[in-house]
Amino acid sequence: MISVPQEPIPVSVLTGFLGSGKTTLLNRLLKEPQFANTAVIVNEFGDVGIDHLLVEQSSDGVIELSDGCLCCTIRGDLVDTLADLMDRLQTGRIPALSRVVIETTGLADPVPVLQSVMGHPVLAQVYRLDGVITTVDAVNGSSTLDAHEESVRQVAVADRIVLTKADLVDRDSKSFALLTARLIRINPGAPQMSVGDVETIRKELFNCGLYDPKTKSADVARWLRVGAYGHHQHDAHAHDVNRHDSRIRAFTLCHDRPIDRQAFESFIDLLRCVQGSRLLRMKAIVNLSDDPGRPLVLHGVQDMFHPPARLAGWPDADRRTRMVLIGSDLDESYVRRLFDAFTGRPSIDTPDREALENNPLSIPGIGPNR
């Protein structure tokens, strides 16, 4: 029988393009008292400067540090490494962990990493995705976004954006303003902070998932940040087809009335089927008509969704269904028309719901090559 921790261990994904300073950030975090009893998963031990810490024991690709932290390398794939950590916890070979941090390579698309954490049925019982932290070089960030699509995707899926090397730029300069505005356009919901702001890093970098460990309850407003979407200004080059971020779309869907459960499941199934490969990330709290007092929480990456969870009750007075979607080449018009079709809200050119259910690919504008 699998022994599952009473509360799933929060997992943070630390990503950022080559030279963006994520390893420097990680080294700083390793010195923080709140970082004790954390497991850090890296590709190579040499990538993380741990010389300042006393190494107590090293075996089987795991280094145990004097402050209770662990460093381990990815062996096989990430699922194997997380499973090995889980086994060590259950057999008492390592003490209880307060957090796991996964540092990706600079060229990595973080989406498969998120899928590894969210999509495995056993690991999902032990670990929960807390958030994605993306580092962006304040000096070279704009040119990196121009040249590398991976860096744009890293920003697009972030819950927190950390600007590094900000002390080397003039924060009042036009170039810095354009970079921060561009990051907002790519991902309006991710707060930006400077690596030099130690207090902000300590207080706000982690615990960006749905559940607030301080209150032991859901903080939907902080998690979804719906108010950040739809009001940002597009920069002058937002639609330049030569820029990778011109493909990124971030938007929200809201609905005031309870939604039929079967209709909502059909909407999600079709969304995954037709647009799943373009859906980088989706977060939602849903008011279902079968139990309107207990909202459904949904979190997806491409066509893979974390097992949905029902909250015991609404955390505040806002009982609207709210969904945040971030995609690459995601057809916003199609998604809105699809949502309207299944929620019964009339809109121009909304496809017929029964026709959608019977043959979604026959409806104009829904084909997989769109």
Task: Tell me the two tokens of residue 42.
Answer: 């890296």
Is there a contact between 65 and 54 (Cβ–Cβ < 8 Å)? yes
CB of 238 closer than 8 Å to CB of 246: yes
Residue 49, pLDDT score: 56
Is the pLDDT reported for residue 354 higher than 50? yes
Strands 279-286 and 248-255: unpaired
Burial environment of residue 269 by CB neighbours within 10 A (0 to 12, 13 to 18, 19 or more): middle
Q: Which CATH superfamily is domain 9-209 in?
A: P-loop containing nucleotide triphosphate hydrolases (3.40.50.300)
pLDDT at 226: 92
Parts of the chain belonging to CATH 3.30.1220.10: 240-362
What average pLDDT does range 300-323 have in this prediction? 91
Tell me the C-alpha distance between 224 and 81, whole Å: 30
Nearest to 194 by CA among 233, 157, 165, 228: 165
Does the structural domain 240-362 have CATH classification 3.30.1220.10?
A: yes
**Confidence tier at 218 by pLDDT (50, 70, 90):** confident
User: 3-class SS at 239?
Assistant: coil
346: alpha, beta or left? (left if phi > 0; alpha if psi -120 to 50): beta
- At residue 356, the pLDDT reads 53
Q: How far apart are CA 297 and CA 286, in angstroms?
A: 6
φ, ψ dihedrals at 259, nearest 5°:
-110, 140
For residue 40, the cross-strand partners are: 71, 101
Instruction: Evaluate if residue 172 carries a pLDDT over 80.
Output: yes
Residue 97 dihedral angles phi and psi, to the nearest 5°: -105, 140
Q: Which of 30, 37, 32 minimizes the C-alpha distance to 53?
A: 30
Report the alpha-carbon distance of residue 201 to residue 335 in Å, rounded. 36
Q: Under a CB-based contact definition with an 8 Å cutoff, are residues 299 and 282 in contact?
A: yes
Residue 348 has pLDDT above 60, yes or no: no
| Length, in residues, of the chain | 370
For the cut 50, the answer to whether the pLDDT of residue 303 exceeds it is yes
pLDDT tens for each residue of 115-131: 888 878 888 889 999 99
* Better-predicted residue by pLDDT, 68 or 142: 142
pLDDT of 121 reads: 83
- Cα atoms in the 13 Å half-sphere on the side-chain side of 215: 10
Q: Looking at per-residue confidence, does 107 or 65 come out higher?
A: 107
Give CATH 3.40.50.300 domain extents, the chain: 9-209
Give pLDDT, residue 361: 42
Question: What is the predicted pLDDT for the residue at 236?
Answer: 41
Structure confidence by residue, pLDDT tens digits, 20-33: 998 888 878 877 88
Q: Which residues of 10-20 are buried (b: 16+ CB within 10 A; e: fewer)?
A: bbbbbbbbeeb
Whole-angstrom distance, CA of residue 287 vs CA of residue 322 = 9
